[in-house]
Structure 1
């Protein structure tokens, strides 16, 4: 693909990529605010309406790697436009739903569009901005993701109270149309592909089965026999997937990619860090209301500090990566994350709200720095024909961390409390730091 060189064109292209990150991130959380209303509207139980959220997340988790690989094969712009169109039309179908089954099915299709958008947006950065500005672009996309996730519950509440539950889905339609036009006009055209490898259908199905089983095991509430069976299915599926990929002539994921220590390390670090970040989202409300005894309004205000820091830190974090290097900023980000989690694990409750907010602000700002650095580190060294699948793997590693964090860290908090939870969180970040430091030492020795 030709690099966009005019600054105005770059800005419009980045505007399209930002919307492509914002829209699916917004819909990850916007439906949560409407679950009580939707339960009443469809005369359903909470467990039933919860599938409005789960169908979307499961679709993204199971399809995102395949979406990235398909983009490498058929053209990223073509597939990103398809993803925007699918997401927009599915949002319209959600808003017009007359039954819960219809709404859940439409949310699953919306998740397909979201998987295409999330996988290909990151992959497009190298084709859109100069290499020296990659960190800034990654930071901006991180900011858009944070804005979407943060804005979702608040925007959902306003739309439901003012217009109705349909509005939380229909709001995507005009934004989607605008994004489609921007992407069509401003993103660089797909380059001709001399040879198209076949699409790995068996590998795709096995990976979807494996990821779907794992995600369900982690999200189906109280642990029991079904969760264990699903985990067993995930383990067996993973083994079969590796066997099939080793034999495939055109594999979904080339296993040789993981011989690159930098790539493997970055993926593992992404899972660990995302696990810890989900812990802050899961544990925070219970700690603030139960331990500190805050009222609901004050809990909401306090919880808004972390996402606000993420929004403000994204672009500056990207600029730091461009200036000082991705590997160095990865280590810095992890170091301060571990420090914040460690402080939170020993903070006396007598320090009240400031004792919670200050470490959370450090953790969140450091996470923004890590994300910008890690994304830059991974994508800057990837060949053009593998950017889509690697971007999909990067998004998958984050999703797996979030799913694991919600289940495992939530269970740790329920059984052991705040101190043990964040002591474990600090340990996970230290483990990520141990993984990052050898790569940093290799970089210094090479220099």
Structure 2
């Protein structure tokens, strides 16, 4: 039996960040290598978010479960990421960002293999919860790792590369998902994560720098995390009941009421917590509050169609492969617009004007869904317009929020943006599922049902409205 010293030694090694080999540290390309390693995590996180929506029809058929139950393959994942993002980020500041990042990839990889072997939907959802914990460990550290690895003068370009990795994962997801589901089966949507995860762990071990400065304040707002998790779970659970979850209807009302109580408890806790998840003082600034509302609305409109389009097309007789190929126009438009708008739009345009243009394009794309069939080119075109609008809207929206947050609270502001993005994604999936169940028959010439498209259009209006109230006066451009 090993002695206490041996146990402590092994524990120390498990919690020790190993430094990079000297040839990596001294290489003039060391920061590019670190960014490349981080991009694998950024790519996989967004790939997994968009690829899973293609498996809904297959899961309905194989497990004989209603759509209201199947959607929890995504919702359970998003709930954990939402609840744990800020807490895991703070844990990384204390223990080491490289350490938590690599362990996160390990958790993500092993749980992906478990998802692919799930014998029923319950086990699959449980495995997705574990996978989400690994994803939170990745997402909370990617930007921080880039920041500590890259020289200051190269940081903006490096963050752009990292964002491009995320956009690429989001764009590739529907196409890859459609191909895998149609040819190899839905389980390969999860198997594909395993080799990439193993490669990322090895590369991260040798290419990522150790954490030099660590936080000394290890306080966590665990009660706040608990209230938030209960509130979001109850809200989405109530929506799922009305979407067809096989439980008595009164439980939906009870869950919605529980969500209200939990959110009230969360707000009360955040007002008194020494290290809150959400700074209520920041939310008193109308520019920040409305900007966060816009970020929430933008991701709801982005992820709602990622569920709606495959469901509607497959029920209309389209294969998963073709549905995935068509759907890729949305994230592709988003990726291109988010990365090229600085070159294409006039430099003098303010963030507010860019947000309004993005919201208008998004609304136009959703309005075009009324003519999005049966010709494939119509659907591809309007999905591209929608994606372009969201790509134009998102970066200046984030800039409006972060530009209003004091620099010493930039970490808190960034965490709040990530949180509302996750909430918008989860509610987008839940609302589209609910409205699809109760208004899923297409009308007229369109294969996309009017009710969920109308809900998404109303949220797109909120995107535009969010850029108006409380917007900070911006200086007139110099002549």
Which of the five TM-score ranges fits, normalised by the shorter chain?
Answer: 0.7 to 0.9
Task: Give the match for residue 341 of structure 1.
Answer: 363
User: Which secondary structure does the structure 2 equivalent of 1:250 belong to?
Assistant: coil
What is the CA deviation profile of residues 225-253 of structure 1, one whole-angstrom value per residue up to 9, with x for unaligned ones? Answer: 33332222222112112222222333333
Task: Give the match for residue 337 of structure 2.
Answer: 313
Structure 2, unaligned stretches of length 5 or more?
1-24, 440-448
Does 2:254 match 1:234? Answer: no
Does 2:278 match 1:244? Answer: no
Task: Give the match for residue 24 of structure 1.
Answer: 45
- Asked which structure has the greater CA Rg, the reply is 2
Distance 1:203 1:319 in 2: 42
Cα distance, 1:206 vs. partner?
Answer: 1.5
Cα distance, 1:421 vs. partner?
Answer: 4.7
Does 2:431 match 1:397? Answer: no
**1:94–1:82 Cα change, 3 Å:** same
Task: Give the match for residue 92 of structure 1.
Answer: 113
Distance 1:132 1:217 in 2: 49
What is the CA deviation profile of residues 314-366 of structure 1, one whole-angstrom value per residue up to 9, with x for unaligned ones? Answer: 43246679x949x9345314324314514753787499666654454333123
**1:443–1:232 Cα change, 3 Å:** farther
Cα distance, 1:150 vs. partner?
Answer: 4.0
User: Which secondary structure does the structure 2 equivalent of 1:181 belong to?
Assistant: helix
Distance 2:335 2:111 in 1: 28
Distance 2:314 2:193 in 1: 33
Cα distance, 1:271 vs. partner?
Answer: 0.8
Contact 2:47 2:169 in 1 (8 A): yes
Does 2:467 match 1:433? Answer: yes
What is the CA deviation profile of residues 186-233 of structure 1, one whole-angstrom value per residue up to 9, with x for unaligned ones? Answer: 334323346324222222211221222223233445285333322222
Pick aligned residue for 1:70 from 91, 95, 104: 91
- Which structure carries more relative contact order (alpha carbon 8 Å, separation 6+)? 1
After superposition, where does 1:20-419 map in structure 2 within 5 Å? 20-34=41-55, 45-46=65-66, 50-97=71-118, 100-129=121-150, 136-159=157-180, 165-193=186-214, 195-222=216-243, 224-259=249-284, 261-282=286-307, 284=309, 301-317=325-341, 324=347, 328-329=350-351, 331-342=353-364, 344-345=366-367, 349=371, 357-375=380-398, 378=401, 389-408=412-431, 414=439, 417=451
Cα distance, 1:58 vs. partner?
Answer: 2.6
Distance 2:365 2:28 in 1: 43
Cα distance, 1:53 vs. partner?
Answer: 3.4
Comparing 411-420 with 93-102, which one deviates more in the overlay? 411-420
Distance 2:139 2:426 in 1: 17
Cα distance, 1:155 vs. partner?
Answer: 2.8
Distance 2:310 2:188 in 1: 27
**1:308–1:251 Cα change, 3 Å:** closer
What is the TM-score of this pair, normalised by structure 2?
0.74
Count of residues in Structure 1 that have an aligned counterpart in Structure 2: 437
User: Which secondary structure does the structure 2 equivalent of 1:195 belong to?
Assistant: coil
Distance 1:135 1:219 in 2: 41
Cα distance, 1:112 vs. partner?
Answer: 0.7
Cα distance, 1:294 vs. partner?
Answer: 9.0
Structure 1, unaligned stretches of length 5 or more?
none
Does 2:39 match 1:9? Answer: no
**1:120–1:345 Cα change, 3 Å:** same
RMSD over aligned CA atoms reads: 4.2
What is the CA deviation profile of residues 60-115 of structure 1, one whole-angstrom value per residue up to 9, with x for unaligned ones? Answer: 23322322333344433332222112112222333444565443322210011112
**1:196–1:370 Cα change, 3 Å:** same
Distance 2:123 2:378 in 1: 46
Cα distance, 1:128 vs. partner?
Answer: 4.4
Distance 1:166 1:266 in 2: 38
Contact 2:337 2:391 in 1 (8 A): yes
Cα distance, 1:175 vs. partner?
Answer: 1.3
Point out the structure with the larger helix share: 1
What is the CA deviation profile of residues 104-152 of structure 1, one whole-angstrom value per residue up to 9, with x for unaligned ones? Answer: 3222100111122123224444444466766655554444334334433
Cα distance, 1:412 vs. partner?
Answer: 6.4
